[in-house]
Structure 1
Amino acid sequence: MNKRDKLIHIHHCRGAGWKTIKKLLVHDPELKHIYHMSIEDLCTYLQMLPHHAKVFFEDLHQLDMSTLLSEYEKDGIFIITIFDHEYPSHLKEIYDPPWVLYGMGQPSLLNHHNILSVVGTRKPSKLGLLSLEKILAPFVDRKWTIVSGLALGIDGYAHQLSLSSYTVAVLGSGLYCPYPRQHRALFNKIISDHAAISEYPPHTSPQKWRFPERNRIISGLSLGTLVVEAKERSGSLITADQALEQGRDVFALPGSILDDNALGTNKLIQQGAKLVLSSEDILNELKFY
């Protein structure tokens, strides 16, 4: 078994989070010794808690990876590890890139240069939706790839508007468990002609804490992130914060000070995000990349 296959196996094991895999790769860069480590070794060298080390050890020695990988291949799921040359170049630049990506559709979209992320409220106003249409139309015409999170509201509408160009959905669950259920038909269109990806193994169910975690992938894949309508505390602002930490541009549509959905975007602008009145405001900033 080569290093790539070992990483995929480890990534399926319970108890192996991003930091644990990082420690493992520092301790054993070629993953030569992982199958010979005891539960005590895992606790000592990887600082795993005993109950995490126990379930990790069990999965490492009991999971039938051959059957799982055959199932994925049959269902059209591709796997890209951080060791692969196909790994998205923009994403590899961030501090905490996913070790493994699971995807369906066209993997080549992940390495398009002209990629814009779009996030926003799950309950957009009609004005917000019309504004998004106006802003995205030139990007769609120029065949940009639009990345979003498949959520209700702005995310889903951004995907819909981009179906005539290119779009990538980043899930907060495994590919066998796309969320929300209301977007199952949209998900099927995306995996048919575009791409959907997840850093979680395909059978992983959606959990609330996974959605903020996946936001760094949405921003990390792209040159910049556009925020369209966001409350003062929202997942969209988490994505914007991730983008800023990654050194990427953040763009925000302004709104009325009386509108709760504009409090977050207005605050982003106050903190230095680029105010957007037209698509040119974004294109002019990103054309130098």
Structure 2
Amino acid sequence: MEKRDKLIRIHHCRGAGWKTVKKLLDLDPELKHIDDMSANDLCHYLKMKREHANRFYYDLHSFALEKYIHSYNKNNIFVMTIDDAAYPSQLRNIYDPPWVLFGKGDKSLLNSSKLISVVGTRQPTQTARLSMEKLLLPLIEDGWTIVSGMALGIDGYAHHIALKFQTIAVLASGLYHPYPRKHHDLFQRMIANHLVISEYPPNIPPQKWQFPERNRIISGLSQGTIVVEAKERSGSLITADQALDQGREVFAVPGMILEPNAAGTNRLIQQGAKLVIDANDILNELNRNALI
């Protein structure tokens, strides 16, 4: 069995987090010996707890890859590993790229040269919605694909604005469990004409810790991240921090100092994010970077 298949098998095992897979690849870059490792070996080499090693070992040796791949194909779900030629180069170059991606829709969007992410609060003001239309419509008309997390609020509205053009959603759950449920219709439209991806196997339900984890994919796919509205302690600021760590641009929409939803974005600007009041502020910065 080749490395690609083994990587997909490993990704379906309980206990196979990003760091565990990284240790495995450091130990055995081609995964030639993974099937020969005992639970004791997993404990010793990967520093796994006994119960985690036992679960991982059981899953690895009981997983029926062909059965799952057949099911995914039947449901029009593609599986992509980091070694595949079609894997997005922008994402491959971050510190912690997902080893495997599962997707449904137009996977060619992943290698678009113009990807920009939009994040923000789940409870946006009307001002935020108007600001998004002012900022995003010119970007979309210029050929930019909008990337977001399909969450309520800013994320969902960003996708809706882009539905007549191109947009990508990154889920914090598997494709069989799209979240939130309120966006069921949006999800159906996205998989029909756009793209939805996740690093989690399709049968994985949403869990709290997966949301900040997926944010690195949203920022990692994109040349820049626009934060529209965010409170002082917001998950959107995690995405902004990850974008900065990845060497990407962060754009922030300013707001009134009395507006709680503007506290996070104003703080980003104070810390060096680019203040944007129209699409040209974003385009000029991205075009300037492309020339460097």
The equivalent of 1:261 in structure 2 is 261
| Structural mapping, 1:114-153, within 5 Å | 114-153=114-153
Distance 1:47 1:162 in 2: 45
TM value normalised by structure 2? 0.98
Q: Which amino acid aligns with 1:175?
A: L
Distance 2:281 2:49 in 1: 49
Distance 2:19 2:208 in 1: 20
| 1:143 CA displacement | 2.2
The equivalent of 1:70 in structure 2 is 70
| 1:142 CA displacement | 1.7
| 1:250 CA displacement | 0.1
Distance 1:205 1:213 in 2: 14
- The answer as to 2:158 corresponding to 1:158 is yes
The equivalent of 1:205 in structure 2 is 205
The RMSD of aligned alpha carbons is 0.6
Distance 2:193 2:201 in 1: 22
| Structural mapping, 1:227-242, within 5 Å | 227-242=227-242
Distance 1:40 1:249 in 2: 45
The equivalent of 2:55 in structure 1 is 55
The equivalent of 2:16 in structure 1 is 16
Structure 2 portions without partners, runs of 5+: none
The equivalent of 1:244 in structure 2 is 244
Q: Is the CA contact (8 Å cut-off) linking 1:146 and 1:162 kept in structure 2?
A: yes
Structure 1 portions without partners, runs of 5+: none
Q: Which amino acid aligns with 1:159?
A: H
| Structural mapping, 1:74-89, within 5 Å | 74-89=74-89
Distance 2:181 2:143 in 1: 28
Q: Is the CA contact (8 Å cut-off) linking 1:121 and 1:229 kept in structure 2?
A: yes
Cα offsets for 1:150-190 (capped at 9, x unmatched):
00000000000001111000000000000000001001101
Distance 2:58 2:152 in 1: 38
Q: Is the CA contact (8 Å cut-off) linking 1:140 and 1:164 kept in structure 2?
A: no
Cα offsets for 1:94-135 (capped at 9, x unmatched):
000000000000111011011100000000000100000110
Distance 2:181 2:50 in 1: 36
Q: Which amino acid aligns with 2:161?
A: L
Q: Is the CA contact (8 Å cut-off) linking 1:146 and 1:167 kept in structure 2?
A: yes
The equivalent of 1:92 in structure 2 is 92
SS at match of 1:146: strand
Task: Answer with 138-147 or 251-260: which moved more.
Answer: 138-147
Distance 2:107 2:274 in 1: 30
Aligned structure 1 segments of 4 or more residues deviating by more than 3 angstroms: none
Distance 1:142 1:250 in 2: 19
Distance 1:70 1:127 in 2: 47
SS at match of 2:226: strand
| 1:49 CA displacement | 1.2
| 1:139 CA displacement | 1.2
Distance 2:239 2:271 in 1: 15
Q: Which amino acid aligns with 1:166?
A: Q
Distance 1:67 1:143 in 2: 39
- How many residues end up aligned between the 2 structures? 289
Q: Which amino acid aligns with 1:214?
A: R
Q: Is the CA contact (8 Å cut-off) linking 1:101 and 1:200 kept in structure 2?
A: yes
SS at match of 2:214: helix
| 1:287 CA displacement | 1.0
- The answer as to 2:46 corresponding to 1:46 is yes
Task: Answer with 99-108 or 138-147: which moved more.
Answer: 138-147
SS at match of 1:287: helix
- The answer as to 2:212 corresponding to 1:185 is no
Q: Which amino acid aligns with 1:230?
A: A
